[in-house]
Chains A and B, each alone.
Chain A
Amino acid sequence: MSDITLDFHPASKAEAPAAPAPGYWKSVGQRILRDKVTMAVTLVLIAILFITIGAPLVTHYDPYYGSVLGRLKPIGTVGHWLGTDETGRDLWTRLCYGGRLSLLAAILPVTISLIVGGFLGILAGYAGGFLGTIIMRTMDVFYAFPSILLAIAICGMLGNGLSNSIIALAVVFIPPMVRVSETVTAQARNLDFVEAARASGTTTLQVIRYHVLANVLGPIMVYATSLISVSIILSAGLSFLGLGVTPPQAEWGLMLNSLRQAIYVQPYVAALPGLMIFLTSMCFNLMSDGFRSAMDVRLNK
């Protein structure tokens, strides 16, 4: 309809293809990159991941090698910059290696509960009715127990050990996960575009896959991230009580327990595993807050 020479006419500007605006996830990414707090805590978390996973790169000590003469050295000792623990093992090394188990024992239960709880919650929220009621009332039974008590009870039943503490925490986290995913799914289900998709004669699985999942996974993932911070504290708590990781393995909660006796001798050294737990938990919490506010922004703003 327009001659090629017309392309240089200013009026043809209106007809030029408008660059498609960035998609939703791209704009969420941009908002996260602009959020200084979230970027800072994400960097701290990456640093923590690096020193735990890459522990042999940042320390040359053996986490199990102790020395009777070098027990409970203070922070700043030459050769042991964070001091040593009650059997003379280098604390920096123990913290690095200990993070592996701490993070594993914290993230794995959340992942399990994300898969199981997310599935049950989306099922309950989309199906509603009788099935939804059964799933939700069953979850309410678990809600009746305080989470740490439930975890201790399950660990007590299964016996101690890393895998049992992971199972116990997964069971503790499934009910809140189900509840959150049920709520967001039930909301999404009543939106007109889901009804329109149902009205187009496509199957329930297709409607869930293309229309419900994309709109509920975001909030569910944010909630899972915030659960990690709780999970770190709970799993450290189980180890502290002797229900999780067994000595001599390094784990922050367990280290906190064994350094407890040294609290009058080397209070700063004894506090270090607790500081790591606090730092990691807080970072996950702030990161999930940042994700939530980045995703919460109304799309049309």
Chain B
Amino acid sequence: MSATPTHRPRAQDSRDRGGPAQPLLMVENLTKHFPVRGGLLNRQVATVQAVDDISFSVQKGETLGIVGESGCGKSTTARLLMRLMEPDSGSIVFDGDQVGDRHGISVSEMRRQMQMVFQDSYTSLNPRMTMAESIAYAPRMHGLGRKDAYDRAESLLSRVGLTPHQYSRRYPHELSGGQRQRVNIARALALEPRLVILDEAVAALDKSVEAQVLNLLSDLKESLNLTYLFISHDLNVVEYMSDRVMVMYLGRVVEAGPVESIYRHPRHPYTRALFASKPTLDPDRRTTEMPLTGDPPNPINPPSGCRFRTRCAFAQPRCAETVPILTAPFEGDSDPAHVVACHIPAAQAVQHV
């Protein structure tokens, strides 16, 4: 495995309607604000802007990594994509079809092609169901016969590296965290999805198990022609897994682009501060960037204009006035796919590391 993009020619999938050039997932202006209620009559007193007007797309066969601090809206984005929450506004286009639209595809049809692996391997498995039951549940409900569903569950179990005759009849509390997460992956694959959202799927595992699961994910992607949306706060893991990376801060995308471009030449002051906090063992890659201090501002009342300006060393008056939009960086030549949301050219100075 390598960190280089792997845009291989894909085997023809009958469900592939848009062709290879059509992004598998296109998200436009996705917004979710949570009302904060309180006071005498339970009135809305404030709004948490969990996800604010974000747009991105995921190409077929690639892995898009989403990084950011806790509370920046990564998991909310995942839940909005799965429609576990209703977005306030914005559109989701899956392989050319508008989700939930009369002429597009229904939410339940989209869910068959898009699956999710949760962070907590224990709470995401029903404690009353055996592993095989958990995996076979969705195919059975979608009309697969009992025998076929259990056969599929067993073959998926062996696919994720668990011997079926040993594990299929076990309950979640009898497995280790890594084994449970493998089962969760198997369950997500049970409907033969095309896109898998991995929401901090390896964050709760210890390092050696994490590496095994990451390798498993890479293998599965290769053999099943999957597309991943890989959400994590771990920069090293994202670098290892992703083809493209999207950096989020307080519900907005601040920078996006190919993984090498972003990791080699981070442009946004937030991204650079984030990378400065990344532990590295390589003396050549030590940065002199100031680490971030303080916590992100309260998303209930986010700063006007650029949301990062309150913690940014380069902030100028215009940062408070207008919201920066994602554009190519001001300085230096870089990959045209690399975009950054920042007003200040000086802040984007290339660092030769």
The one of A15, A24, A202, A203 in contact with B171, judged by C-beta atoms closer than 8 angstroms, is A24
Chain B: number of interface residues, binned into ranges:
35 or more
Residue A21 CB within 8 A of the other chain: yes
Q: Which of B87-95, B134-142, B213-221, B294-302 binds A?
A: B134-142
Whether a CB of chain A sits under 8 angstroms from the CB of B169 is yes
The answer on a CB contact under 8 Å between A199 and B169 is: no
A211–B129 Cα distance when bound, in Å, is: 9
> A272-301: which residues lie under 8 A (CB-CB) from chain B?
299-300
> B174 on the interface (CB 8 Å rule)?
yes
Point out the residues of chain B lying under 8 angstroms from A198, CB to CB.
Answer: 84
Which of B12-20, B52-60, B120-128, B321-329 contacts the other chain?
Answer: B120-128
> How many residues from A make CB contacts under 8 Å with B?
26
Q: Does B166 contact A (CB under 8 A)?
A: yes
CB interface residues, B 134-185, toward A, < 8 Å: 134, 137-138, 141-142, 163, 165-166, 169-174, 184
Q: Does A64 reach chain B (CB closer than 8 Å)?
A: no
Out of A15, A195, A201, A215, name the residue touching B108 (CB < 8 Å): A201
> B110 — which chain A residues lie within 8 A by C-beta?
201
For A199, give its contact among B84, B125, B127, B130 (CB under 8 Å).
B84
Contact with B along A23-42 (1 / 0, CB 8 A): 11000000000000000000
Known: A192-B123, A202-B142, A300-B173. A197 touches B137 (CB 8 A): yes
A299 x B138 contact (CB < 8 A): no
B120 proximity list for chain A (CB < 8 A) = 192
Q: Which of A17, A23, A201, A214 is B126 in contact with, Cβ under 8 Å?
A: A214
Digitize A198-225: 1 where CB-to-B-CB distance is under 8 Å, 0 elsewhere: 1111110010001100110000000000
B171 touches A18 (CB 8 A): no
List of B residues within 8 angstroms of A215 by Cβ: 126-128
- CB-based contact A200/B118 at 8 Å: no
B137–A200 touching, CB < 8 Å:
yes
Residue of B nearest to A203 (CB): B141
Contact assessment for A200 and B111 in the assembled complex, using a CB-CB cutoff below 8 Å: yes
B116 within 8 A of A: yes
A178-200: contact bitstring with B at CB < 8 Å (1 yes, 0 no)? Answer: 00000000000001110111111
Residue of A nearest to B108 (CB): A201
Contact B141 A196 (CB under 8 A): no
A22 (CB) vs chain B CBs: closest residue: B171
Give the docked Cα–Cα distance between A193 and B183 (Å).
12
Contacts of A24 in B (CB 8 A): 127-128, 171
Is A21 a contact partner of B138 (Cβ separation < 8 A)? no
A200–B144 Cα distance when bound, in Å, is: 14
Minimum Cβ distance to chain A for residue B106 (Å): 9
A197 proximity list for chain B (CB < 8 A): 126, 137-138
The contact of A191 among B123, B141, B166, by CB within 8 Å, is B123
A46 to B302 CA separation, bound complex (whole angstroms): 65
Residue of A nearest to B170 (CB): A20
Given known pairs A192-B118, A195-B84, A215-B128, the reply for A21 and B123 (CB within 8 Å) is no
Q: Chain A 6-23 against B: per-residue CB contact (8 Å), 1 yes, 0 no?
A: 000000000101101101
Q: Provide the B62-80 mask, 1 if CB < 8 A to any CB of A, else 0.
A: 0000000000000000010
Q: Does B265 contact A (CB under 8 A)?
A: no
Cα-based distance from A300 to B177 in the complex (angstroms): 12
Task: Note all chain A residues with C-beta closer than 8 A to B141.
Answer: 200, 202-203, 206, 210
Assembled-state Cα–Cα distance A21/B169 (Å): 9
State A63–B232 Cα separation when bound (angstroms).
75
Q: Does B115 contact A (CB under 8 A)?
A: yes
In the complex the two chains form, is A201's CB within 8 Å of B171's CB?
A: no
Interface flag for B315 (CB, 8 Å) = no
Chain A residues whose CB sits within 8 angstroms of the CB of B109 once the complex forms: 201
CB distance from B61 to the nearest CB of A (A): 22
Q: A300 to B122, alpha carbons, bound, how many Å?
A: 10
Residues of the B chain whose Cβ atoms lie less than 8 Å from the Cβ of A18: 166, 170
A200/B138 in contact, CB under 8 A: yes
- Cβ contacts under 8 Å, A202 to chain B: 137-138, 141-142
- Whole-angstrom distance between the Cβ of B5 and the nearest chain A Cβ: 28
Q: Does B112 lie at the interface of the complex (its beta carbon under 8 Å from any beta carbon of A)?
A: yes
CA distance A202 to B129 in the complex (A): 17
The minimal Cβ–Cβ distance linking B186 to chain A, given in whole angstroms, is 12
B137 touches A210 (CB 8 A): yes
Contact between chains at A201 and B127 (CB < 8 Å) = no
Are the C-beta atoms of A20 and B169 separated by less than 8 Å? yes
Contacts of A17 in B (CB 8 A): 165-166
**Shortest Cβ distance from residue A239 to the other chain B in the assembled complex, whole angstroms:** 41
CB within 8 Å for A201 and B165 given contacts A20-B170, A24-B128, A195-B84: no
Determine if B82 is an interface residue (Cβ-Cβ < 8 Å).
Answer: yes
Could you list 4 further interchain pairs (A-B, Cβ under 8 angstroms) beyond the known A21-B171, A201-B109?
A193-B124, A195-B118, A201-B108, A211-B126
A binding-site residues for B, Cβ under 8 Å: 15, 17-18, 20-21, 23-24, 191-193, 195-203, 206, 210-211, 214-215, 299-300
7 closest Cβ pairs, A-B complex: A201-B111, A192-B124, A200-B138, A20-B169, A202-B141, A201-B108, A300-B173
Residue pairs across A and B with Cβ atoms less than 8 A apart, 10 shown, are A18-B170, A21-B170, A193-B126, A197-B137, A200-B190, A200-B191, A201-B109, A202-B138, A215-B126, A215-B127
